[in-house]
Amino acid sequence: MTIKMNAQLRWRKFVSNFMLTMTGVCALISVSVLFFILGYLVYHGGASINWDFFTKLPAPVGESGGGMANAILGSAKLLLLATLIGVPIGFFGAVYLAEFSGSTVAFVVRYAADLLNGVPSIVIGIFAYAVAVHPFGHFSTYAGGFALGIMMIPITLRSTEEFLLGVPRSLREGAMALGASKWRTIATVIVPAAYRGILTAILLAFARVAGETAPLLFTALGNRYWSNGFNEPTASLPVMVYNYAISPFDDWHRQAWAAGLVLLGLILVINIIARAVLARGIAIPRS
Amino acid sequence: MATTSTMHPSAGPVLGSRSFFARLRDGDEIARLITFLFAATVVLITLLIVFELWQGSVLPRHKFGFNFFRTSTWDPNFDQFGALPFIFGTLVTSTVALLIAVPLGIGAAIFLAELAPARLSDALEFFIDLLAAVPSVIYGVLGIFIVVPIMRDVIQPALKSTLGFLPLFQGPAFGIGMLTAGLVLSIMVIPYIISVSREVLLSVPRDQREAALALGATRWESTWKVVVPFARTGIMGSIFLALARALGETMAVTMVIGNTPKIAASLFSPGDSIASVIANQFTEATGDLYTQSLIELGLVLFLLTFILNGLARLLIVLTSQRGASHA
C-alpha cells in the first residue's frame, strides 16, 4: 500500500518537475530569439556598415557600393511629420479624457483609439493613400508622415491618459484649494507630475512607427535620389531594407543587413531610454 | 485693478458654485473645448478609415457581391477578382503561427508568473517587450536569409521523410511558402501572448494557489488545474490578440510566403495572404476595379481584426474583474 502510494507520488512529483522545467525551456527559447536576431544583425550588418552607408546616395542598379544617406534623411523627415501629427492629438486628447470628459464621451474616444491601435498597418497605408495621395495625384513625404502620425495617436493617447490618471488626487486638490483654475492645475501641476510617463509614452510611440514599412509602401513610396521638401516621394530606411532584401543582388543584401542593424539599433536604444526615463520616476500605473 | 478680486470675495473660486462665465474667464471652458477637439479628431479619423474603405470598394462589391469571397481566380488581365486564395493563405499561416506560438507562449508565461523570482521575471519581461518592438521588416530579413535556407535544407526534408504521408507535408521544398510564413509569424506574436498571459496569471488571487497546495497538489497541479483554468478567459484573450496581429501582419509574411495566389493542400507550397497581396500589388494596380478590389481586401482585414480585438479586450477585462472581485 505505502509502496504504491509512494510510486504514485513520485510520478506526480516527476510530472510536476518535468512540466515546470518545460515552461522554463519555453521562456528560454522565446527570450533567446531576441539575441539570435541581434546576433545575426550585428554579424551580417556590422561587416557592411561603413562611412559611405551614412553619406552616399544608393549606387545605380548593377553597381556596387553607395549608401543610404537619402533614406536616413527621409526617415527623419517622415518621423518629424508623424510626431507633429501624432503627439499633439494624442496628448491633448488624453488631457481631455483624463481631466474634462464625461464617461460616455470618454468611452467613445477610448474605444476609437483602441480600434485605431488594432488596425493593421497596411490598412492605415490604404487610408493614407486614399486621403493624402490619390486626391493630389502623386506620392509624397507628407502622405507617409500622415500615415505614421495616425499610428502614433492611439499609443500616445492611451498611455498618456493612464499616466495623467495616475497623478495622486491630493496634488489636484491642493492646487484647486490654492485657487488655481482647472487648466492652470493641469498645466502647472498634473502634467509636470506625469511628465516622465508622458515622455515614455511618446518615445515608445516614436519607436513603434520608426520601423513601420507597410504604411509607407504606397504613400512615401521610395526614391533613389534626394527628396526635396515634403512634397516628393522619399526613401526611408524600412522600405530600403525591404526593397534591398527582396532584390537579387548580393551587394544589396549586404546593405539590407546594414540598414536593418541601424534601424533595429535605433529602435532598441529608444525603447531602453524610454524605460529608463520611467524607471527613475513615478511607478507605472497598471491598467 | 489688481486688487479687484480681494474687494469682491464672491468672485473667488467657490468649489461647485462657479458660474459658466467665471470658468470661461479662467480659461477652463476654452481648455476644455480645445482638448475636446483633439479627442474628437481621434474618433473622426477612425470613422473616416471605415468610410474610405467602404467608399473605396464600391465597384467590386457591386460587380462580384459575395462571389468575391467564394471564387479563387485572381486575374487582373481579365478583371476577375476572387479573394479566396488570400483568405485561405491568411487563415493557414495564422493557424500555423498559433499552433507554434500558443504552447510556447503560455509555457513561458507560466514560468514568468509562477516560477521565476520577481526580479528574473521582470528582467525577462523586459527582453520580451524589446522583442515585441522589433519591426516586422527585420523579421522579414531574418526570414529570407536565415529561416528560409534552414527550412529548405533541414526542416522540410525532415518533415517529408517522417510525416510525408500527410498531404500537408508533400511537394517540393522551396523554403519559402505557407509553413515558413507561419513559423516567422509565430515568432512575431509570441511576445504578445507572453506579456498578456503573464499579466493575467499574476492577477489570479494567491489563495487559489495556496488552497490547491494545501490540498496536497504538486506545484504543477496547482498551476495547471487551478491557476490556469482561473485565468483561461484572459489567456484566450491573449490568443485572440495574437491572432489579430498575425492576420494583419504584412512585411515579414510578404517576404517569405512566395506571393502566389493559389490554394494547395501542402504547407510547403507558396501562397499569398490578404496583407501580402495588398503590399505587393497596390502600387502597380491599374484600373479602378483592380485597385478597389485590393481596398475591399483591406476592408475584410479591417473587419476581421476589429472583431478579434474587441473579443480579446472583452475576455481580458472579464478575467481581471474576476480576479479583483475574488480578492
Give the Cα separation of A140 and A133 in Å (integer): 7
Residue carrying C-alpha cell 528582467: B123
* Average pLDDT over every residue of B75-96: 93
Chain A residues inside the 8 Å CB shell of B139: 37
pLDDT tens for each residue of B166-194? 888 888 888 999 999 999 999 999 999 99
Banded model confidence at residue B286, pLDDT cuts 50, 70, 90: confident
Please tell me the predicted confidence (pLDDT) of residue B325: 67
Q: Are B258 and B270 in contact (CB under 8 A)?
A: yes
Nearest to B112 by CA among A287, A28, A86: A28
The answer to whether residues B285 and B294 touch, using CB atoms and an 8 Å cutoff, is: yes
A98 or B11: which leads in pLDDT: A98
What confidence score (pLDDT) does residue A280 get? Answer: 67
Instruction: Tell which of A126, A206, A223, A269 to mutate to test the B interface (max B CBs under 10 Å).
Output: A126
Beta bridge partners of B80: B75
B141 against B13, higher pLDDT: B141
What pLDDT does residue A5 have?
66
Q: How far is A154 from chain B (nearest CA, A)?
A: 8
Collect all residues of chain A within an 8 Å Cβ-Cβ radius of residue B124.
Answer: 27, 31
A242-270 pLDDT, tens digit per residue, is 999 999 999 999 999 999 999 999 999 99
- Report residue B8's pLDDT band, with 50, 70 and 90 as the boundaries: very low
- State which residues of chain A have pLDDT below 70: 1-5, 280-287
**DSSP string covering A68-112, please?**
-HHHHHHHHHHHHHHHHHHHHHHHHHHHIIIII--HHHHHHHHHH
Closest Cβ–Cβ partner in B104, B142, B283 for A217: B283
Going by pLDDT thresholds of 50, 70 and 90, the confidence category of residue B101 is: very high
- Tell me phi and psi for residue B75, to 5 degrees: -130, 95
Cβ distance of A88 and B255 shorter than 8 Å: no
- Closest to A275 in 3D by CA, of B126, B117, B112, B120: B126
Amino acid of residue B211: A
Interface with chain A: mutation pick from B198, B220, B280, B306, highest number of A CBs within 10 Å: B220
pLDDT of residue A6: 84
Q: What percent of chain B has pLDDT over 70?
A: 91
Q: What are phi and psi of A132, to 5 degrees?
A: -115, -5
Mean pLDDT of B117-124: 92
Averaged over B83-87, what is the pLDDT?
Answer: 94
Kindly determine whether residue B279 and residue A176, on different chains, have CB atoms separated by under 8 Å: no
Q: Does the structure show a pLDDT above 60 at B11?
A: no
Rounded CA gap, B251 and B242, in Å?
16
- Whether the per-residue pLDDT at B17 is higher than 50: the answer is yes
* For B36, nearest residue in chain A (alpha carbons): A96
Stretch 20-59 of chain B: residues touching chain A, C-beta under 8 Å: 23, 26-28, 30-32, 34-36, 38-43, 45-49, 52-53, 56
Task: Identify from B6, B24, B130, B137 which residue to disrupt to test chain A contact, counting A C-beta atoms within 10 A and taking the largest count.
Answer: B137
Q: Is the pLDDT of residue B156 over 80?
A: yes
Query: Can you tell me the mean pLDDT for B94-106?
Result: 96
Nearest to B45 among A101, A116, A271 (CB): A116
Residue B59: half-sphere exposure toward Cβ, Cα within 13 Å: 13
**Interchain contact, A31 vs B127, CB within 8 Å:** yes
Residue A127 CA to its chain's centroid (Å) = 19
Q: What is the pLDDT of residues B228-270, one digit of tens each?
A: 999 999 899 999 999 999 999 999 999 999 999 889 889 999 9
Contact call for A257 and B141, based on CB within 8 A: yes
Distance from CA of B73 to the nearest CA of A (A): 23
- Interface ipTM above 0.85: yes
Contacts of A39 in chain B (CB under 8 A): none
Interface subset of B 269-288, CB within 8 angstroms of A? 275, 278-279, 282-283
Buried b (16+ CB within 10 A) or exposed e, A40-79: bbeebbeebbeeebeeebbbeeeeeebbbbbbbebbebbb
Is the four-CA dihedral B213, B216, B222, B226 of positive or negative sign?
Answer: negative
pLDDT at B9 (0 to 100): 41
Taking alpha carbons only, the member of A221, A208, A206 closest to residue A125 is: A221
Contacts of A284 (CB under 8 A, 6+ apart): A197, A278
Q: Supply the Cα-derived Rg of chain B in whole angstroms.
A: 26
pLDDT of residue B287: 87
Q: In a mutagenesis test of the A interface, which of B10, B25, B35, B120 is the best target, namely the one with the most A β-carbons within 10 Å? A: B35
Q: How far is it, in rounded angstroms, from Cα A271 to Cα A208?
A: 9
pLDDT recorded at residue A7: 86
Give the number of beta-carbon pairs within 8 Å between A and B. 274
Instruction: Name chain A contacts of B128, Cβ cutoff 8 Å.
Output: 30-31
List, for residues A22-52, the tens digit of each pLDDT value: 999 999 999 999 999 999 999 999 988 989 8
pLDDT at position B23: 65
- With beta carbons less than 8 A apart as the criterion, state whether A244 and A236 touch: no
The C-alpha cell 473616416 sits at: B48
**B231-240: per-residue pLDDT in tens?**
999 899 999 9
- Report the pLDDT value the prediction gives residue A286, as an integer from 0 to 100: 41
